[in-house]
Each structure stands twice: as C-alpha cells, then as structure tokens.
Structure 1
Amino acid sequence: MLTVDFDRLGVGAGTKAIDIGAGQGRHSYEMFRRGADVIAFDMSESDMTDVGGMFDAMMAEGQVPASAKARAEVGDALHLPYADNSFDVVLMSEILEHIPSDDAAIAEMVRVLKPGGLAAVTVPRYWPEKVCWALSTPYHEVEGGHVRIYKASELAGKLEEAGLEVTGTDHAHALHSPYWWLKCAVGVENDGNPLVKAYHKLLVWDMMSAPALTRKGEQLLNPVIGKSVALYLRKPGAAEAA
C-alpha cells in the first residue's frame, strides 16, 4: 500500500534515496524494486532488522535489478548521520505527525537533499484525522502516537520556509478513512468487532487483488476523504538548473 507516487519523484536506476521513518519498509521496497540505491532509516531496531532481511530476500529472489542497492540503518531523524546534499530523493511518509520537533526533522531532511533533488512528505489529512481524534482519545494519546494534526497549507508553509518548493499535492487511501472512523467509534483496540473485522477483510482483499472497481472508486474518493495528503517538493539549486 503506497502513499507516494514514485513516478513523480523520478525514482529509477541509480537514484540515491533515503526513506526517513521507514517503519516496515513499504516505500523502501518499492524504490529498491525500481533500481534505486536506497537507505531505509528508522529509530526502531526491530523494524530495521526486518527490513534488512526483506532486502536480502528480494535480492535472492531476483526481484530487483542487479545494480540496485539497499540497506537498513537505525538512527534519529533529528540527527541524520549523512553529509549535506547526499540524496537525490528524500521521503518522509507518515512520520512528522509523531515528532514534537517537526521543524528540526524538516531541516535535517532539507540538509541531506541535494540541490535540484526531489522529496515527498505525507501526513494524515486534516479533516479525516480530526474525526478520529474526536471519536477516540486513545487513537492519538499513546506512546509514540500523533502529536498534531496538520492542515496541508500549514505543512506546505513549513516546508517552504525550510527552503523547499512545493510542486504538487495529492491525496491517498480514501477507503481507509471510514475504517479508522469505525475503529475509533468502537474502540481502537477492539479488533474483534464484527464490523471492524469485515472492513479489514475488505481492505486486505482490495490490496491483494486490486480490482478495477475499488481502485477506480478510491481514485474518485481520494480528493474527498483521502486519509493521507502527500506534498511533492523540490530543493532549488545549481543541479536543478543544470
């Protein structure tokens, strides 16, 4: 389940990319499949161990081009262990809403992105997220949970102040908004609820089968109730002009 459109980022063979806050690696895997030299970066040692193992398995099964490279590294998004202007593409997907010092995380992202490089930042969309917060306190008041709700214009302003240009905005995962509203209404830990179980089964079927009906339906609904908003960005500089 991808939130980011990697065609818009031009990810391909030889692209040097980092997925900051990679989690379980869904976006890192896609960049690896496209032939990138990718780093999955996250503070969770267990997640990065799993992601590194999956990278190895993908290579062994021939799922990636021979020239592609990937590694998983553990660290702090506020103190990235990379030189300035290191990456062609930087991704931060569904991470900023968890970080109290979001300005510092954004500054680090901008620092390691090359002039002329591209980035994507995704967060939960404002109004679907507001519904979740209204329905359930445990949804967000948990360790490592969401500390803020962004308006897209607010986030765009932060990114522009940090030195990036916003080149586009998109929405994703409309089918997931009602699922989370339902979970918040019945209890976020109540996975045994019949309605929650039935909706989860639908989502899994949709992700595995990708039927034309639901794919088209979600495409139409994304601008209205998409769970996530994605901002596409460029770092100005000499490389861009070249």
Structure 2
Amino acid sequence: MITIDFNKLDIHPNDRILDIGCGEGRHTIEACRQQGTLCVGADVGFKTLVETKKKIAFHRALDDLCCKSVYLSCMDVTCLPFKNNCFDTVICSEVLEHITDDQSAMSELVRILKPGKILAVSVPRFFPEKLCWFLSDEYVNADMGHVRIYQKHSLIKEMEAFGVRHIASHYAHSIHAPFWWLKCLIGPNRTDSKLVTLYHELLVWDLMNKPKFTAFVDKLLNPVLGKSLVLYFKKA
C-alpha cells in the first residue's frame, strides 16, 4: 500500500533515498524500483527490517528492482546517524504520530535533506483519526500507539519552521478509513469479528489485484474520507 506519490518526488539516477520508519518496506521497495537509486530503509524495529529484507529478496527474484543498492538499518528518527544535506529524497510515512519528540524528528528530517530536494511526510488525517480516538480508547495504544492527532495547517507550519517550503499535498486510502472505524467500534485488539476479517480480506485483495474500480472509488472519496494526509516539502 503506497501512500506517497513517487511522481511528486523528482527522483533521478544516482539519487540517495531514505525511507525512515520504513516498517515492512512498502516505500523502500518502491524506492528500489526507481532507476539507478541508492536506497536506505530504516526503522527502530529490528523485526520489521527482517520482513523488509525478505520482501526485497522476493522482488529481486522477480527482477523488478532497478536500484543500484539498498541498505537496511535500525535507527531513531530523532537522532539520525547521517551528515547534513546527504539525501536527495526523504520519506517519512505514518511515523510522526508515534513519536513523543516529534520536533526533534522534524528537525532531523530536514537536516539530512539536500537543499532544493523533496521531503514527503504522511500522517493520519485529522477527522478519520479523531473518530478512531472517539470510538475506542484502545486504539491509541494499538499498533505501537498514536500519541497525537495532526491538523494539516499546523503541521505545515511546524515543518516549515525547520527550513522547508510546502509545495503539494493530497489525501490517501479512503477505503481504509471505514475499516478502522469498524475495527475501533468492535475493539481494535479483537480477532474474532467476521465482519472485520471480511473487510480486511477485501483490502488485501484490493492491494494484490489493484482493480480499476476500487482505485477509482478510492480516488473519488479521498478528498472527503482519505485516511492519510500526505505533504510534500522542498528544502530551501
């Protein structure tokens, strides 16, 4: 499930791309599909990096990766082990809402980005996320926990304070929002709900088969129901 629109990242051969908070590697793998890139997937969780490594090996076997090299490493987004201005593209998708010290994380994302290059950030959108918090107290502590809810304009202002300029934004994953509302209503940690299981199977089927109909519905509803807010910034 790709949240970031790679067409907005202006990636070129030999560019260095960092996917920080890569999870199981969805954006890292997409970065590796960009011709001639040098990619780094990083996360605080070792187990998720193991899964990313397996998925990269799977895609290498399919011969659908075009990168020159890819590296995986454990690291903390609030204290990145890189020099200033060393990446051409930085991706931070669905991470900041988990970070207590998000200001340090934002500062680090901008610090390592080269001037004139693009930072892509996504977080849960205010309204769908607020409804999840309203429906379930458990939700905040599920999936490693969400510690805050962002509003678009305030997040843009916070990011721009570190030396980047907001250049584009959109919403994503509208068909996922009702799934999380349903899950929160029933109980985010329950595994015995047939309705939740069926909805999850539908989302997995959509992810694997990419039918045009659900893509159309998702795009149509994203401005209203999109679960993720996606922001693009350019460093001064």
Deviations 1:15-60 (A, max 9, x none): 2110111111100000001132110011111212232343344334
Per the alignment, residue 51 of structure 2 pairs with 50
Q: Distance in 1 between matches of 2:188 and 2:169?
A: 29
Per the alignment, residue 229 of structure 1 pairs with 229
Q: Distance in 2 between matches of 1:203 and 1:168?
A: 27
**Cα drift, residue 12 of structure 1:** 4.2
**Cα drift, residue 141 of structure 1:** 2.8
Work out whether 1:68 is the aligned partner of 2:68: yes
Per the alignment, residue 3 of structure 2 pairs with 3
Per the alignment, residue 91 of structure 2 pairs with 91
Normalised by the size of structure 1, how large is the TM-score?
0.93
Q: Secondary structure at the match of 1:204?
A: helix
Structure 1: gaps of 5 or more residues: 237-242
What letter corresponds to residue 225 of structure 1 in structure 2?
L
Per the alignment, residue 186 of structure 2 pairs with 186
Q: Secondary structure at the match of 1:17?
A: strand
Q: Distance in 1 between matches of 2:51 and 2:141?
A: 27
Q: Secondary structure at the match of 1:140?
A: helix
**Cα drift, residue 142 of structure 1:** 4.7
Q: Secondary structure at the match of 1:77?
A: coil
Q: Distance in 1 between matches of 2:42 and 2:196?
A: 32
Q: Distance in 1 between matches of 2:136 and 2:61?
A: 44
Deviations 1:70-113 (A, max 9, x none): 01011111110110000000011000000010000000010000
**Are the structure 2 counterparts of residues 218 and 34 from structure 1 closer, same or farther at C-alpha, using a change threshold of 3 Å?**
same
Structure 2: gaps of 5 or more residues: none
What letter corresponds to residue 7 of structure 2 in structure 1?
D
What letter corresponds to residue 140 of structure 1 in structure 2?
V
Aligned pairs for 1:206-225 within 5 A? 206-225=206-225
Q: Secondary structure at the match of 1:128?
A: helix
Per the alignment, residue 239 of structure 1 pairs with none
Per the alignment, residue 123 of structure 2 pairs with 123
> RMSD of the alignment, in Å?
1.4
- Identity of matched residues, %: 40
**Are the structure 2 counterparts of residues 186 and 171 from structure 1 closer, same or farther at C-alpha, using a change threshold of 3 Å?**
same
Deviations 1:195-215 (A, max 9, x none): 111211211121112212111
Per the alignment, residue 141 of structure 1 pairs with 141
Q: Distance in 1 between matches of 2:213 and 2:134?
A: 31
Per the alignment, residue 177 of structure 1 pairs with 177
Per the alignment, residue 164 of structure 1 pairs with 164
**Are the structure 2 counterparts of residues 174 and 143 from structure 1 closer, same or farther at C-alpha, using a change threshold of 3 Å?**
closer
Task: Decide whether the 8 Å contact of 1:52 with 1:71 is kept in 2.
Answer: no
**Are the structure 2 counterparts of residues 191 and 122 from structure 1 closer, same or farther at C-alpha, using a change threshold of 3 Å?**
same
Task: Decide whether the 8 Å contact of 1:93 with 1:121 is kept in 2.
Answer: yes
